[in-house]
Structure formats: C-alpha cells, structure tokens
Amino acid sequence: MGGIGSGQSGWRTRCEDMLALDFRKLKKAGHLMPGKLTRGWLKSPYRVAEINLEAQDRDLLLTIRCKPPMPPKWPPWQQRIPLSKMGRNRLCALCPKCGKAVQILYSGGMHFWCRGCHELAYASQFVGPEERRQKRAQSEF
C-alpha cells in the first residue's frame, strides 16, 4: 500500500464551484409548468450565461448563451433534460448522462450532469478534523 502522502487528496472539484440548476427551486418558483418559458442568468459569483428554460410535458429544454468571459468559441447550445416524478408530487430531473434521478444538475462546461458524473465533492468533505471540532464547539452555543 501507499506511504505517507500517497493517494489523491483533494483533487475533486467542489459542487459549490460549479453552475447549478436546482429543480426544487425551479418547481417552487413555478418554472416547470408545461408551456412555461423562463429567461434568466446562471451566476457563479457574477453573470456567466443567459439561460432560457422551456418546460414541456416530460422534459425541460435549456438554451444557453455564454457571456464574454467564457470561451467565445462556444456557440449557443441546447440540452434536453428529462423530468420524472418521485412519489406523489416530488419532481426531479434525470441526469442526461447516467439516468439517475436527482434534484440538482451541475454544469462544468457544455453539459448539465449530476454530481456523480462530474465526480464532484461537497466542500464539507475537505474540512479537516480540527475545523470539524471548532464548528461543533461553535454550534453548541
């Protein structure tokens, strides 16, 4: 087995650093009603891309145009995201790559995929033992 320092520590990109499409928030705001067309901005701390959401019966059509700091070689592109129901009224998206039912899709370029397909980690997975102890101590007060 490997020795001290072997392995890949902290090599994964964090979810918080990616553009996210949260289907819980979209549903709550009423953007997933069939026939609804919504225009907005994807932000990652500043406006990065204009996005048009067109809700259809069983899927969501995204049309995305990047803003200048993004690579200018990227033309506007479209992505169709299938929607599914979990239980009675919990709407979720199916990852276009693996088909897994998820609530949030992340974009690391020209595709919105799930956390597993992008091999993303949560920021809390990189917190060391000392920081965890400090946070626990602070939360007790």
What's the CA gap between 25 and 20, in Å, rounded? 11
Is residue 6 a part of any domain in this protein? no
Sign of the alpha-carbon torsion through 69, 70, 73, 76: negative
| Residue 113: per-residue pLDDT | 93
Q: Which residues of the chain have pLDDT under 70?
A: 1-10, 42-48, 67-74, 141
pTM: 0.75
Is residue 69 a part of any domain in this protein? yes
* Domain limits for position 69: 15-125
| Residue 2: per-residue pLDDT | 54
Is residue 10 a part of any domain in this protein? no
| Residue 114: per-residue pLDDT | 94
Give the three-state DSSP class for 109: coil
Strands (E), 67-122: 77-86, 90-94, 101-102, 104-107, 112-113
| Residue 26: per-residue pLDDT | 87
Is residue 44 a part of any domain in this protein? yes
Is residue 3 a part of any domain in this protein? no
User: Strand pairing partners for 55?
Assistant: 60
Query: For the chain, how many structural domains are there in total?
Result: 1
| Residue 67: per-residue pLDDT | 66
| Residue 68: per-residue pLDDT | 61
Is residue 9 a part of any domain in this protein? no
Give the three-state DSSP class for 67: coil
